[in-house]
Amino acid sequence: MHSAFSASSAELRAQLTTAHARTAPSSDAALTALAALDPAAIAAWLLALDSDEAAAVPRARVARLAASVAESIAASPTIVPVTTAVDIIERYGHLLSPEAAKDLAFAARTVDDDQGLAVALDGALERAPANGGLLRAAADIAAARGEHSRAHDLLSRLARAEPTLATMQYVRGARSRLPRSGAQPVRIALLSSFTIDSLVPFVDLECRSIRLEPEIHVAPFNTWERESHGDGSSVHRFDPHIAFLSVAVDDLLPGLSTCSPRDLASDGAAAVDRLLEAAARFVSWSPAVLVVHGLHTAFRDPLGPAGSRHGPSRSEVMASLNGRLAEGLRALPRAYWLDMTEVLVRRRSGAIDNPKMRHLASMRIGEHALGEVAAAYLQFIAPLTGRTRKCIVLDLDNTLWGGIVGEDGPHGIRLGATSPGSEFREFQEYLLALSRRGVLLAINSKNNAADALEVIRSHESMVLRENAFSAMRINWESKASNMIALAEELNLGLDSFVFLDDSEKERALIRQALPQVLTPELPRDPARYRETVEALAELHVLTITDEDHSRTRQYIERREREQLRVVAQTPDEYLESLEIRAEIGTASDRTLPRVQQLFQRTNQFNLTGRRYELGVLAAKAAQSDWRIYTAQVSDRFGDHGLVATALVRMSTDAWLIDNFVMSCRVIGYGVEDALLAQIGADALAARAERLDGEIIASAKNAPARDFYSRNHFTRDADRDDGEWWRHTLTGEPIAPPHWIRTRSLNGA
């Protein structure tokens, strides 16, 4: 086909060498012909262009030539020196198709040193961050060079850039050849009536996005009922932290399409009960959290639009069966219902079902829906692994309202019932709903405080008023220093924060300065703010307690207490003026979820860092030699709720504190000393001789480390298996703080 052009290679090359031709060669056709005929010459020409000249050549032409050269080099790498291929990637890699970029990069690899290629790929990736070919090559080279965490990052980016089944499996395969990342491990079991293997790489990717190292076990095909028995089953041996059970409604009810809605109601109830029996069996032996898929079907109702005219339609029957399933699971410990209908309507594109794959491979969830299902799983996995963040820190201008209050004025900003402005109202309403279930809200804004407060206090469409925020920093300081101040005021770690700001620059600054803060991308369109925050798995919890509902109020009361501290003459006078009352009791069914939450979430005042599953705590609470102490605290400003708990093993001669945690909200009030004093008094009354405890230092529990030493405990010199402390009960008693009125409900 090259013969179609009359010019010879030599003539074309001559054209290129003239100064004029360097930026404006005679024709596209001639260049394309030369690229195929003599790729080395075109490569040399491309590399000889300086950046101004390159900018003068139409981008599409450069891209076409670079692609042609890349293809030729990939097919026979010896036509140019390796350095030329590397240079092409460095300068033009971002213009290549993923396929061409990958082929060229692999052709440019050398046995001994890929440093130059790695740098070239980095440069190209800066300009084309989502080019799958560049990402594949860069990940492969990072892995070969032993840069494992970088390889993991690049593979995650590749999976996000090309979320197809093939790429997801490639990424998972490439990771399996890397050493473990050292991140917190989590074991996940998948039990299913259909082929669920294709979901595995999606769950893997989601877990890694919140710094977990997942181990995922898929139970053998359609063994969910057998596996639920435990006893030597593969899931039993695997010992998961969390298990997902997905049973397709057409596997449960093979006659789904042909039976009448009335038969569906009765057969369906029996089928749901089969699922519930399996779930009940599972939680009877496994301490894992169990998540059961709700029923959904991709098939349309054969009765069509007339279905609902003649009694309950199939959809209505399915909804009531799902209700029966959810209710049954609610009655079991650690069991959750996953609303599949809700998960599946949320996906952006693609069918719920791929009929071909259903028949060919027994898949029941189409490949386009797998990402959404995995994202839904993460909303359970994140809170289970302690990833829950407690506080959303918000910018104001163009984040909570449209426009800039300092320029547009309190009445010029966009916030109201119609667009532009209704987007922000909807976003605020969602944030308010989050705060009502325990997520704290705070402000970090560059503004004149008076302007901003005027909007917050008086704008008629403002949803979030002053009392919705547990802390505010509205000033001209850097946002990073404000963030640190907020962490101090709220007594939270920076890793408890999510930061939402419309400014790309501010987000970049916070990511750079405070990587512990989760700073998600916020879309340009405020209409999409809400769904962005909805999708953050790290804001979710598995149980919502009484304390969650009133958390914001408690922080505001805390602010009032701090104001009192300023006017008090001495610390003692301040503490006395608070009129603190502590009710000390043992955990009940009602308070166990809060106790579990405290063990799970507390990082600072946490003596040993041991966390317990709800099932473990329930079992301990029922045993006569264990006791779970709780302290409910209130003062003149309000109720703190259940803020401290201790798990104690009671032997005849000594009581042992397995772990003792206290919410950071009440650090500094002496509540921990009051609880310890009560445990000591109870142990003495039970005629024990000693109270023992252990301290396991962590990066965060400095506030707890002197707990035993300042309460008449002595270090146990006989033990070298950690830091052990003992207190002789017949000696000097542990004194409760004189400013706390303690009431014991144990009667011990």
Looking at 228-365, list the stretches that DSSP marks H as alpha helix, in order from N- to C-terminal side.
234-238, 249-252, 261-285, 314-330, 340-345, 355-361
- Return the sign of the alpha-carbon dihedral for residues 231, 237, 241, 247: negative
Separation CA 665–CA 391 (nearest Å): 13
- Nearer residue to other proteins within complex by CB, 181 or 198: 198
- What is the closest distance, in whole angstroms, from the C-beta atom of residue 225 to other proteins in the complex? 23
- What is the closest distance, in whole angstroms, from the C-beta atom of residue 13 to other proteins in the complex? 24
Check: CB of residue 466 under 8 Å from CB of residue 415: no
Near other proteins by CB under 8 A: residue from 165, 535, 654, 697: 165
Nearest Cα to 402, choosing from 412, 411, 414, 416? 414
Q: Does 140 sit near other proteins (CB under 8 A)?
A: yes
- Nearer residue to other proteins within complex by CB, 198 or 308: 198
- What is the closest distance, in whole angstroms, from the C-beta atom of residue 102 to other proteins in the complex? 7
Percent helix / strand / coil, the chain, rounded to 5: 50, 15, 35
Q: Binding string to other proteins for residues 169 to 208, with x set by CB under 8 A, is what?
A: xx--xx--------------------x-xx----------
List the Cα angle 231/236/238 in 5-degree steps.
155
Q: Does 8 sit near other proteins (CB under 8 A)?
A: no
- Nearer residue to other proteins within complex by CB, 164 or 543: 164
Near other proteins by CB under 8 A: residue from 300, 356, 465, 743: 356
C-alpha 716 chain-centroid distance: 41
Q: Does 433 sit near other proteins (CB under 8 A)?
A: no
Q: Does 16 sit near other proteins (CB under 8 A)?
A: no
- Nearer residue to other proteins within complex by CB, 65 or 472: 65
Check: CB of residue 626 under 8 Å from CB of residue 617: no
Separation CA 694–CA 723 (nearest Å): 6
Q: Does 74 sit near other proteins (CB under 8 A)?
A: yes
Q: Does 470 sit near other proteins (CB under 8 A)?
A: no
- What is the closest distance, in whole angstroms, from the C-beta atom of residue 165 to other proteins in the complex? 5
Near other proteins by CB under 8 A: residue from 71, 397, 502, 613: 71
Residues between 375 and 414 with contacts to other proteins, criterion CB under 8 A: none
Give the helix/strand (H/E) hosting 656. Answer: strand 654-662
Q: Does 538 sit near other proteins (CB under 8 A)?
A: no
Check: CB of residue 275 under 8 Å from CB of residue 340: no
- What is the closest distance, in whole angstroms, from the C-beta atom of residue 449 to other proteins in the complex? 55
Cβ-Cβ contacts under 8 Å for 525 (sequence gap 6 or more)? 423
- Nearer residue to other proteins within complex by CB, 330 or 356: 356
The CA-atom distances, in angstroms, between 155 and each of 100, 131, 513 are: 18, 12, 25
Could you write out the DSSP letters of every residue in 72-102? HHHH-GGGS-HHHHHHHHHHHGGGS-HHHHH
Q: Does 144 sit near other proteins (CB under 8 A)?
A: no
- What is the closest distance, in whole angstroms, from the C-beta atom of residue 70 to other proteins in the complex? 11
What does residue 47 show for φ and ψ, rounded to 5 degrees? Answer: -75, -20
Check: CB of residue 651 under 8 Å from CB of residue 689: no
Separation CA 206–CA 242 (nearest Å): 15
Check: CB of residue 491 under 8 Å from CB of residue 483: no
Residue span binding other proteins (CB under 8 A) among the ranges 159-167, 209-217, 312-320, 664-672? 159-167
Residue span binding other proteins (CB under 8 A) among the ranges 10-18, 102-110, 206-214, 497-505? 102-110
Near other proteins by CB under 8 A: residue from 21, 178, 357, 667: 357
- What is the closest distance, in whole angstroms, from the C-beta atom of residue 170 to other proteins in the complex? 6
Near other proteins by CB under 8 A: residue from 75, 119, 735, 748: 75
Count of positions on this chain that bind other proteins (CB under 8 A): 27
Structural tokens at position 13: 């090359």
- Nearer residue to other proteins within complex by CB, 45 or 170: 170
What single DSSP character describes residue 295? Answer: P
Question: Which residues face 641 on adjacent strands?
Answer: 633
Residue span binding other proteins (CB under 8 A) among the ranges 19-27, 99-107, 534-542, 643-651? 99-107
- What is the closest distance, in whole angstroms, from the C-beta atom of residue 63 to other proteins in the complex? 17
Check: CB of residue 101 under 8 Å from CB of residue 134: yes
Q: Does 2 sit near other proteins (CB under 8 A)?
A: no
- What is the closest distance, in whole angstroms, from the C-beta atom of residue 302 to other proteins in the complex? 24
Near other proteins by CB under 8 A: residue from 136, 293, 414, 540: 136
Q: Which residue has the tokens 């401290």?
A: 644
- Nearer residue to other proteins within complex by CB, 165 or 183: 165
Q: Does 286 sit near other proteins (CB under 8 A)?
A: no
Near other proteins by CB under 8 A: residue from 361, 450, 544, 685: 361
Residues between 583 and 642 with contacts to other proteins, criterion CB under 8 A: none
Looking at 18-131, list the stretches that DSSP marks H as alpha helix, in order from N- to C-terminal side.
19-23, 28-37, 39-48, 51-56, 59-75, 82-92, 98-107, 115-127
Separation CA 479–CA 396 (nearest Å): 12
The CA-atom distances, in angstroms, between 30 and each of 14, 47, 65, 72, 365 are: 12, 18, 11, 17, 51
Q: Which residue has the tokens 């060919």?
A: 360
Q: Does 56 sit near other proteins (CB under 8 A)?
A: no
- What is the closest distance, in whole angstroms, from the C-beta atom of residue 196 to other proteins in the complex? 10
- What is the closest distance, in whole angstroms, from the C-beta atom of residue 6 to other proteins in the complex? 24
Q: Does 419 sit near other proteins (CB under 8 A)?
A: no
The number of residues making up the chain comes to 748
- Return the sign of the alpha-carbon dihedral for residues 200, 202, 204, 210: negative
Q: Does 145 sit near other proteins (CB under 8 A)?
A: no
Q: Does 527 sit near other proteins (CB under 8 A)?
A: no
Separation CA 102–CA 80 (nearest Å): 17
Near other proteins by CB under 8 A: residue from 91, 94, 102, 387: 102
Q: Does 103 sit near other proteins (CB under 8 A)?
A: yes
- Nearer residue to other proteins within complex by CB, 221 or 299: 221
**Which pairs count as long-range contacts for 424-427, CB under 8 Å and 24+ apart, including other chains?**
424/400, 424/526, 424/529, 425/461, 425/463, 426/527, 426/530, 427/400, 427/526, 427/529, 427/530, 427/533
- What is the closest distance, in whole angstroms, from the C-beta atom of residue 99 to other proteins in the complex? 6
- Nearer residue to other proteins within complex by CB, 166 or 699: 166
Q: HSE on the CB side for 395, CA within 13 Å?
A: 25
Q: Which residues would be at the binding site for other proteins (CB under 8 A)? A: 71, 74-75, 99, 102-103, 106, 136, 140, 164-166, 169-170, 173-174, 195, 197-198, 354, 356-357, 359-361, 363, 367
